[in-house]
Amino acid sequence: MKDLSTDRRRFIKQASMGTIAASIAACTPNTEVLQSELTEDPKSSPIPLVISTWPHIADNQIALLAVQEGRLLDGIEKGINNVENNPKDQSVGLGGRPDRSGIVTLDACIMDRKHRAGSVCYLKDIKNPISVARLVMEETPHVILAGDGALQFALDKGFKKENLLTDQSKSEYLEWLKTAEYKPQINVELHDTIGMLAIDERGDISGGCSTSGLGYKMQGRVGDSPIIGAGLFVDNEIGAATATGMGELVLTTLGSFLTVEFMRQGMTPTEACKAAVMRTIEKNKETYKDMQVGYIALDKFGRFGGYSIQPGFQYTVTYQDHNKVFDAQSYLPK
Ligand code: SD4
């Protein structure tokens, strides 16, 4: 029997490589700032290109520099390191909000064009979990290391232990303890996890995701961000997607994998993100109105898009010397 799925994959691959070659040839340096239709027109896609959740402009620029030099994975790692090292970002790395016992625990994962993946979860005292995740991918036979094992691995690899709880995050936590009321906050500080995807000039794609998770989560809680298929998924033949927001909803729909599968079926990145959000809504009819989930996606043509449940989700696209922060379309109106 004829294998239709192989045929389709081959078709997508051939079509995309041809289009990417054409788009590179057609791409003039310093083309004007992104128009939204560029996201739907493969011929105009300005690759290399980096896209990330939320307004992470400086981090995207660092990533793009490496991607332009042909170092795709370094771009993802170094771009995300920049957020992890920033004590003012209270959702990632140093300065991340603690769990409800006052401990900062970090989750991160990375996936590359060769379909390799690495991840760490419930990692304490190490500010760069994305770098540890990369080493899990490159230097171990495993995909995920958790907790004490992840910490020991990081220390063995030369990472230094440090206190990740900054004065700012500590004083907010002490304030929170007065009521210790836990309820999700939509788009308000508790969400600025970085998920980053990049495509290089050959059309290869990689991605990463790093977070301190939900502020004041239960001790031991792990979210979607270090779980391949949930917080991040890359299929170099099709595209990539990454998530932000309420991890529990992303985990139970494997949202990033789902988004990539929708692109495999022929949807554009925005359509695929929307379809993944709609699945989340269908499966959480009672609760979705109080939650935020947002996806961004990038396909093999260099097209990109995003979609969220609530308004207010932004994503940042960086290419050449342009940065553009997009307000994602959302299911619920403004
Ligand atoms: C989590 N998805 O741990 C993460 C949180 C997040 O922006 O994205 N914050 O559930």
pLDDT for res 191: 57
Rounded Cα distance between 4 and 107, Å, is 38
Residue with CA at minimum distance from ligand 1 atom 10 = 247
Active-site residue, selected from the candidate residues 39, 53, 193, 259: 193
As a whole number of angstroms, the distance between CA 195 and CA 208 comes to 6
Q: How far apart are CA 302 and CA 298, in angstroms?
A: 6
The answer to whether 270 is a known catalytic residue is no
Whole-number Å distance, alpha carbon 113 to ligand 1 midpoint, is 24
DSSP 3-state helix, strand, coil percentages of the chain (rounded to 5)? 35, 20, 45
Mutational test site, ligand 1, from 246, 277, 280, 291, max ligand atoms within 8 Å of CB: 246
Residue 217 confidence (pLDDT): 93
**How much is the pLDDT for 331?**
96
Residue boundaries of the structural domains of the chain: 5-330
pLDDT at residue 132, as a whole number: 98
Distance CA 255, CA 241 (A): 8
Q: Give the residue, out of 211, 222, 315, with the most ligand 1 atoms within 8 A of its beta carbon, to mutate for a pocket test.
A: 211
Which atom of ligand 1 has the smallest separation from the CA of 231? Answer: 2
CA atoms 303, 282, 261, 114: torsion sign = positive
Q: Which fold has domain 5-330?
A: Glutamine Phosphoribosylpyrophosphate, subunit 1, domain 1 (3.60.20)
Q: Please answer whether residues 288 and 184 qualify as being in contact, where contact means their C-beta atoms are separated by less than 8 angstroms.
A: no
Mean pLDDT by 10 residues, the chain (334 residues): 35 40 32 40 75 95 98 98 95 95 98 98 98 98 98 98 97 94 63 90 97 94 97 98 96 98 97 98 94 96 95 94 93 93
> Distances from the Cα of 298 to the Cαs of 13, 193, 252, 260, 309, in angstroms?
15, 18, 22, 9, 19
Residue 187 is predicted with a pLDDT of 57
Residue 42 has what pLDDT? Answer: 52
Atom of ligand 1 nearest to the CA of 245: 8
Looking at residue 135, what is its pLDDT?
A: 98
pLDDT recorded at residue 20: 37
Residues having CB closer than 6 A to ligand 1 are 91, 191-193, 211, 213-214, 223-225, 244-247
pLDDT at 183: 74
What pTM was computed for the model?
Answer: 0.88
The pLDDT, as a whole number, for residue 33 is: 36
